[in-house]
């Protein structure tokens, strides 16, 4: 006999509250009735156990997951490999928590109900392709830059209290020359006095600075090559370099098709003005949400174009005559740039490795 098509009441919706070691899930039927709660370890075996448990109630087609970009990334990949549609669920608002309380099962049930009600419409990033590779390299580069800046500051701090002979020899040097000279200091086999100890400390920090500089250069080389291969059209745009292109690619993810239109991308980058009208007053306010790193990238591109692009400079001059302030002009430019960038991102064909079926 042919298999009957499951009705809406038989289709199961899963909600998951994710943590570092344990995920808590709640299953609902098509009418919103709670069928059960399960806690599983955050490992592939636990994911498989969770899916089998949910399918024991009926066909599992949709799931709402909190933290798809952090603790829930592994679960999201597993569910998608199983052919289950995954929706990104934001953390419940505090005002809702005051009414219903706060616990992992409550949060998991709220995630499932948001999917069932159709309020959870966000598609999580795939995080399984070249853009994810760029993201991991960029995170490492950023931490290396921060550590190198700390090393440079520490050398300057050591010089403030260094013995006068050593201080007068090094304090007037540029950073590059200071690092080079400090890395070749010879404190001696034994640290017999304050000067020897200070030399040893300066040499140690200077060599750390050099090691970090080498690490940053290697990361820059790989990032430049990877970004140029992934999005050559984006890097070719006026004012967009490797760092800004990487920020915009990371904001869109490995599946930029999840963004419905250029307005959605602008809103994601915090470059879309938000309506704030009431009664006879019609106005918009600044959007302070969204991906702040992508917003920074749009700002850098706008500033670069204002200084060297003829069309942008003409636009700035025209808008200034209309009474717009510099901040308002930059906000407009960021919105235009977001539209231009989205069209390029939408046309990209990103290479992704095949997803293994567990």
pLDDT tens readout for residues 290-319: 889 999 999 999 999 999 899 999 999 999
H/E element holding 285? strand 284-285
Confidence of residue 117 (pLDDT cuts 50, 70, 90): confident
Spell out a b/e string for 17-40, using b for 16 or more CB atoms within 10 Å of the CB, else e.
bbeeeebbbbbbbeeeeebeebeb
Does residue 354 register a pLDDT over 60? Answer: no
H/E element holding 109? helix 104-117
- pLDDT given at position 1: 40
Report the DSSP pairing between strands 22-28 and 34-41. Answer: antiparallel
Please give the residue that has the higher pLDDT: either 281 or 32.
32
- pLDDT given at position 94: 63
CA–CA distance, 227 with 208 (Å, rounded to integer): 28
Nearest CA to 116 out of 152, 64, 75, 191 is that of: 64
To the question of pTM greater than 0.75 for the whole model, the response is: yes
Confidence of residue 3 (pLDDT cuts 50, 70, 90): very low
Tens of pLDDT, residues 197-253: 999 999 999 999 999 999 999 999 999 999 999 999 999 998 999 999 999 999 988
Please return the burial class of 195, using the count of CB atoms within 10 Å of its CB with bins 0-12, 13-18 and 19+: middle
Tens of pLDDT, residues 44-84: 999 999 999 999 999 998 999 998 888 988 999 999 989 99
- pLDDT given at position 358: 39
Tokens of 81: 């490999």
On whether the CB atoms of residues 26 and 109 are closer than 8 A, the answer is yes
* Residue keyed to tokens 């949709």: 62
CA–CA distance, 10 with 55 (Å, rounded to integer): 11
* Mean pLDDT of the region 137-160: 95
């Amino acid at each position: 006999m042919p298999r009957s098509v499951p009705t809406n009441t038989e289709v199961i919706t899963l909600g998951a509250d994710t943590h570092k070691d344990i995920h808590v899930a709640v299953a609902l039927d098509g009418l919103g009735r709670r069928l059960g709660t399960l806690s599983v370890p955050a490992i592939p075996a636990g994911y498989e156990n969770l899916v089998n448990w949910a399918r024991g109630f009926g066909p599992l087609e949709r799931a709402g997951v909190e933290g798809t970009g952090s603790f829930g990334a592994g679960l999201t990949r597993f569910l998608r490999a199983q052919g289950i549609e995954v929706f990104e669920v934001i953390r419940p608002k505090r005002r809702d928590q005051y009414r219903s309380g706060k616990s992992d099962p409550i949060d998991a049930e709220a995630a499932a109900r948001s999917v069932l009600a159709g309020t959870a419409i966000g598609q999580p990033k795939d995080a399984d392709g070249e853009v994810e590779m760029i993201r991991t390299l960029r995170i490492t580069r950023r931490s290396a830059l921060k550590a190198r800046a700390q090393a440079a500051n520490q050398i300057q701090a050591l010089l403030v209290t260094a013995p006068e002979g050593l201080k007068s020899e090094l304090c007037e040097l540029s950073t590059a020359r200071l690092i080079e000279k400090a890395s070749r200091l010879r404190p001696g086999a034994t640290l017999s006095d304050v000067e020897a100890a200070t030399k040893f400390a300066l040499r140690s920090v200077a060599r750390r600075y050099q090691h970090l500089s080498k690490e940053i250069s290697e990361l820059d080389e790989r990032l430049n090559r990877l970004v140029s291969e992934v999005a050559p059209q984006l890097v070719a745009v006026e004012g967009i370099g490797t760092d800004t292109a990487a920020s915009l690619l990371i904001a869109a993810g490995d599946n930029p098709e999840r963004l419905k239109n250029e307005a959605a991308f602008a809103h994601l980058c915090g470059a879309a003005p938000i309506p704030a009208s009431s009664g006879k007053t019609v106005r918009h306010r600044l959007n302070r949400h969204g991906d702040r790193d992508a917003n920074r990238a749009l700002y850098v591109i706008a500033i670069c174009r204002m200084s060297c692009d003829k069309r942008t400079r003409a636009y700035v001059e025209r808008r200034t005559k209309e009474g717009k302030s510099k901040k308002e002009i930059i906000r407009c430019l960021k919105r235009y740039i977001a539209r231009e960038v989205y069209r390029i991102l939408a046309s990209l064909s990103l290479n992704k490795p095949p997803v293994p079926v567990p």
